[in-house]
Amino acid sequence: MSKTLRLSEKWFHRGLWLVAFLFAWFLTGLGSTIVGDLPRVEQTRSLEDFMDPARTPALKATIQAAERSAEAAQAELDQAQLKLQTARADNRAARETFDNWLATRSVTQRSEQDDEVLKRTRELDGLRQAERTAFSAVELQQQAALNARQAQDRAQAELQSLQNEARGAFVQAQRAQELRVFGYRLALTLPLLVLAGYLFKKHRNGASWPFVWGFIFFALFAFFVELVPYLPSYGGYVRYIVGIVLTVIGGRYAIQALQRYLERQKIAEAQPAQTRQREMDYDQAQARMTKNICPGCERTVDMKDGKTDFCPHCGLCLFDHCGHCSTRKNAFARYCFACGTSAKAVATVAQAKAE
């Protein structure tokens, strides 16, 4: 159709489509904001809301205390292990020195060094005792860390048991909340879709068509983007059922529309060719002619052979001859392209002569 429009008319149509898209964009932004705020009307609940209010805080406090005790025990254990390593190193170094000294004494066999032997032996005993003391401290801190971890594990297990008990009620409440929020969205978007369908049927070609189409785009976006993705699943049953219902409704509408179209075509093709040609829309007829389609029955016709003047399917006149210069021309053209004579004026003169 755009090929048959005036240049200014084309740009006006493009501008009006821009108005339609801008109108739809602003409406979509407003609708998205409203739909996004809908969940706020419901109080957000967590799993803890369905757990024992008396035991849960106590268990959490026990877990936190056990974590702090475990951290403190681990820090003390690190210090004790470091002291143990130092005591072992001191004991090892002193024993190596003592062994070397004994080897030297066994060579010299000097009896005056017996007191030194006793002294060094006592020192080794003291280092060995220090090592045992450090080892005992390490074991003590290991036991404390183990006790803290076990207490934490017991509290965690009990808390997990409370969570498992409360999970069923939490899931049910969450599903009920999702259904309510979906109901809010449906109550908001479904009337918009119904109104869009009414506007499409009654006013899509009216004077305010840019706003009508903008609202239609907005309603479609609100329904299929803002609503459908939030359909409750329940194993896919709801989504598939809704998809089946929408498909049946859309298919039924398409079938009825096709039947109405075929009925209109039958009625139109039953009328005389001149009547059909006179009542046909000029721009639509020109657009179909440029696509090698009969403007009357909308079937394909070879119009480039230069011989086909009538549609072989419905008998509609496609090409005639100018009454002034006899040039073969488009039967729907208002003026002859060869001489510029008005087709209407020629038809009026011919009718006057016939009378």
The pLDDT mean for the chain works out to: 77
Q: What is the largest CA-CA distance in the chain?
A: 165
Burial of 156 (C-beta count, 10 Å sphere; 0-12/13-18/19+): middle
**At which residue do the structure tokens 């219902």 appear?**
245
- pLDDT band, very low/low/confident/very high, at 20 (cuts 50, 70, 90): confident
State the average pLDDT over residues 272-300. Answer: 80
- pLDDT band, very low/low/confident/very high, at 346 (cuts 50, 70, 90): low
d(CA 199, CA 219): 11
pTM over 0.85: no
Question: How many domains are contained in the chain?
Answer: 3
Q: Are residues 280 and 259 in the same domain?
A: no
Q: Are residues 242 and 299 in the same domain?
A: no
Q: Are residues 26 and 128 in the same domain?
A: yes
Nearest to 277 by CA among 192, 347, 207, 194: 347
d(CA 154, CA 160): 10
**Letter for the amino acid at 3?**
K
Q: Are residues 35 and 126 in the same domain?
A: yes
pLDDT exceeds cutoff 60 at 323: yes
Q: Using one digit for the tens of pLDDT, what is the confidence trace for 153-190?
A: 888 888 888 888 888 888 888 788 777 777 777 788 88
Q: Are residues 154 and 253 in the same domain?
A: no
d(CA 111, CA 117): 10
Q: Are residues 164 and 18 in the same domain?
A: yes
Q: Are residues 42 and 92 in the same domain?
A: yes
Q: Do residues 35 and 188 touch, judged by C-beta distance below 8 A?
A: yes
Q: Which domain holds residue 250?
A: 233-270
Q: Are residues 151 and 54 in the same domain?
A: yes
- pLDDT band, very low/low/confident/very high, at 1 (cuts 50, 70, 90): very low
- Plot region of 109 (φ>0 → left; ψ -120 to 50 → alpha; else → beta): left
Nearest to 322 by CA among 336, 307, 308: 336
Q: Using one digit for the tens of pLDDT, what is the confidence trace for 237-276?
A: 666 777 788 788 888 888 888 888 788 877 777 777 677 7
Q: Are residues 86 and 2 in the same domain?
A: yes
Neighbouring C-beta atoms of residue 215, cutoff 10 Å: 21
Nearest to 333 by CA among 324, 342, 325: 342
State the average pLDDT over residues 86-105. Answer: 71
Q: Are residues 217 and 82 in the same domain?
A: yes
Say what the alpha-carbon torsion angle 319, 320, 324, 327 is, to the nearest 10 degrees: 50
